[in-house]
Amino acid sequence: MAIVPEAWTPAARRALPAMRAWREAFHQEPELSLEEKRTRDKVVAALTELGIPPQTFAGFTGVVGLIPGSADGPVVALRADMDGLPVTEATHLSFRSRFPGRMHACGHDVHMACLLGAAAIMTRGGRRPVGPVKLLFQPAEEEGRRGGALPLIERGCLDDPKVDYVVGQHVEPNLPLGSVGWKTGPFMAAADFFRITVFGRGGHAASPHQGPDAIVIASEIVNGLQALVSRVRDPLDPVVVSVGSIHGGTRNNILPSEVVLEGTVRTFRPATRDLIDRVFHRRVRALAASLGARTRIEYLRGYPTLVNTPAATRAVAEALRVEFGRKHTIEVEHPVMGAEDFSRYLERVPGTFLHLGVGVPNHPSSLHSATFAPDERALIIGAATLAAAADGLQRNPP
C-alpha cells in the first residue's frame, strides 16, 4: 500500500507564532513600490534565520531564496509580493501601520508571511520538498506598468536552476476563510492606463460661448468612452473602461483651459486589447474635435492577462484537495477584472495563481480598503497551500 505523506497543515499550524511575528513586522512598516528596503531587510533576516541563503540585488529590492530538494525533482518557484499602498490605515490592529499614508491594504504582508511559513515547514517541519524550491519575494506589484516581476525575471530569478513551474497566491475576501480558489485558463485581466488632457479656452464662466469648454468636453469623453464597452466589442468578451481621476479648474466662475482625465482599461483577449487601444484614440479625438477642442492622449500598456496553465493548475488543485478536502478547494467560476504582474512569470513558465480565502461572515472587507485586516488564521492555510502546491507539482508533474 502506498504511503501517504504527512499533511502540511499541522506543520503550518505549529509555525503560526513565527508567521504572526513576520506578518506584524511587515504590516507595521509598509513601503511603496520599489522602496521596500526595510521589508527586504526583514525578509533577508528571516531567510537567514531559516538557514536559506538570501540572494539580493544592487539597486533593486527583490529577494530570492533556494531550498534544496531531497531528490532531483522539478524546480518550483513560489512568489510573494512585498509592496504596500498609499492608504491611511483605519483598522484597530495593535500592529497597525506606523507610517502615515501607507498601509498593507492588499494583503502583501500576509503573502510574505505565508511564503516564509512555507519555507519554514519545508526546512524545519520534518518533510523536505522533493525537488528544489525557489522563493521569490517580489517588489512593486502595485506599480501597475513595468511592475516588479519583469525586473526580477531580468535578474535571473527563473534560472540557475531553471524553474519548471511557478505558483503564487493572493488573499481574497470574497472566498471564505479556510478555503483556496483556483481556475484554469484566463484568471485576471490585462491592465492598461490612460491620461487624456483636454485643451479648451479658459475664460469667464458667464461667457462659455467664447471658446471650447474643457470641462464640458471632458464630461462628454467620460460618457462617450462607455460606448467602447457597449457598442464596440462582443458583449460576451469582458471589457472595463473606467475614469478614476478628473482634474480641472480653480473656482466656480472660471472656465479652465485644461482638464486632465486618468483611468484604466481592462481586457482579457489580446485582440480585444488591441481593438480598444485603436478605437479609444479615435473616439476621444472625435468627441473633442466635434466640440472644437484638441486633446493629448497618453495610453500605456500595463500587465498582460494572467493565464493559468491548465495542466499545472489541475495538478495543484488535486494536491490542495488532498490537503484540505474538496469542500475547501473551490473552483472559481468567473475570471476577475483585477490585474497582477504574476502574469509575467506565466508568460515564461507553466504554473498557476491561487486565491486564498480570507472572508469572514458579517465582517465585510475589501482589498485596498483602509480597514482591510485579514484574519491571522489565513496564514496557516496560505503556508500549507504553497507547500502543498510545490509538493504536488514535484511528486506528480503534469
Per-residue pLDDT, 126: 75
| 190-301 CATH fold | Alpha-Beta Plaits (3.30.70)
- What does the block give as the cell for 280? 479609444
**Dihedral over Cα of 101, 105, 106, 111: its sign:** positive
Residues of the chain with CATH 3.40.630.10: 9-188+305-395
Residues 195 and 395: their CA atoms lie apart, in Å, by 48
Vertex 43: Cα angle to 15 and 392 (nearest 5): 55
Per-residue pLDDT, 1: 31
The H or E element spanning position 241 is strand 239-247
Per-residue pLDDT, 2: 39
CATH, range 9-188+305-395: 3.40.630.10
Q: Name the nearest CA neighbour of 114 among 29, 31, 9.
A: 9
Beta bridge partners of 157: none
Residues 37 and 31: their CA atoms lie apart, in Å, by 8
The H or E element spanning position 219 is helix 214-224
Residues 168 and 320: their CA atoms lie apart, in Å, by 14
Residues of the chain with CATH 3.30.70.360: 190-301
**Dihedral over Cα of 205, 212, 225, 336: its sign:** negative
- Establish whether the linkage from the previous residue to 161 is cis, with ω within 30° of 0: yes
- Averages of pLDDT over runs of 10 residues in the chain (398 residues) are 66 97 98 98 98 98 95 94 97 96 98 98 89 98 96 98 98 96 98 97 88 94 93 89 96 94 97 96 96 96 97 98 97 95 98 95 83 96 98 95
Burial class (CB in 10 A: 0-12, 13-18, 19+), 158: buried
Do residues 163 and 349 touch, judged by C-beta distance below 8 A? yes
Residues identified as active-site: 303, 376
